Amino acid sequence: MKTPDRVTITDVGPRDGLQNESRAIPLDQKVALINALSETGLTRIETTSFVSPRAIPQMANAAEVMAGIRRCPGVTYIGLVPNEVGARDAIEARVDEIAVVVSASESHNRANVNRTIAESLEGIRGIASLSREAGIPWSGYISTAFGCPYEGPVEAARVMEIAERLRDTGAEAIALGDTIGIANPRQVSEIVGRLFERLPDTPLRLHFHDTRGMALANVIAAMGAGASQFDGSVGGLGGCPYAPGASGNVATEDLVAMLHAMGVATGVRLEALLEAAWLAEEIVGRPLDGRVKRALPRPTAGQRATQADYVP
């Protein structure tokens, strides 16, 4: 079986996860979650989104979040930005990296940002030049890359074309998002393989959702096709509590536990990550989808779990 020696993980819980919570999460709890993640050995954390508070009230205090966290050396704190206003705010808040998003399907892009894909790509050029001036790298997410809730199947050629445009605009990396959790391992293997052929020098990240229980299978398929960078969300944060079955990103701790069991290094301390996952459950006030933490009792105060407790 083809696996990389090492995988780099981006935890998107504080942004992609908390953004989907309907209840307002207090600033200090967001900061506490990011600080907990910073102590796990993760090197990449998607921290917040610099969007209009009218569009997404949950992300209203992006600058305060960035100002409030304890930055660990070696950790890249990423801010999502939808436009040039957001990019300016993100740069001012001293994010280490900017993420931008465009959908692979017109209907989803329209529903998401009320723009055509061409208009979004044009907007990204503006963000790219601001990032370049500030000396901050940016990466481009292609959402609905494996299927769209409105249009169904998405042409792989379309994904390649958008990825190439993003690369030509200066993206340091491309991320493919399975926004509705519809990807299957064969499709992932094909698209990842084609993308590496087309853009061999551009780092690729995969962002899988576990809506249909296929996220980890898709990770295996992507590794087989050469991928070594994945997104996860601590605890599995990101499911909508009012839409049964609409689960979020693959839980980072499940991803890490699987990779470690397979002998693939991540640099993450699983026991510290589980602590962060339990904290995430406390913050949202309900059990989250992550499996590994469900298989284990949370250590009581004074007890310290070790990684050996978690690895089968």
Q: Which residues bind Mg ion (CB under 5 A)?
A: 16, 249
Which of 67, 111, 118, 240 does the annotation list as catalytic? 240
To the query of whether residue 240 is one of the catalytic residues in this protein, the response is yes
Residue 211: CB minimum distance to Mg ion, A: 10
Instruction: Write b or e for each residue in 259-288: b if 16 or more Cβ atoms lie within 10 A of its Cβ, otherwise e.
Output: bbeeebebebbbbbbbbbbbbbbebbeeeb
CB-based contacts of 240, cutoff 8 Å, min separation 6: 20, 22, 246
Q: Which is nearer to Mg ion, 115 or 209 (CB)?
A: 209
Smallest gap from residue 20 Cβ to Mg ion (A): 8
3-state secondary structure (DSSP) of residue 279:
helix
Nearest to 113 by CA among 92, 139, 82, 87: 82
Tell me whether residue 16 or residue 97 sits nearer to Mg ion (CB atom).
16
71 or 212, CB closer to Mg ion?
Answer: 212
Minimum gap (Å) between residue 238 Cβ and Mg ion: 6
Closest residue to Mg ion, judged by C-beta, is 16
Mention every residue, 6+ apart, whose C-beta is less than 8 A from residue 59. 15, 19, 48, 49, 50, 51, 53
Least CB distance to Mg ion at residue 231 (A): 7
List the end-to-end C-alpha distance of the chain, in Å, as a whole number: 19
Minimum CB–partner distance for residue 209 and Mg ion (Å): 6
Residue at 59: amino acid letter = M
Structure-token pair, residue 79: 């801010």
C-beta closer to Mg ion: residue 66 or 250: 250
Q: Which is nearer to Mg ion, 91 or 175 (CB)?
A: 175
> CA–CA separation, 212 vs 111, rounded Å?
23
* Residues with catalytic function: 240
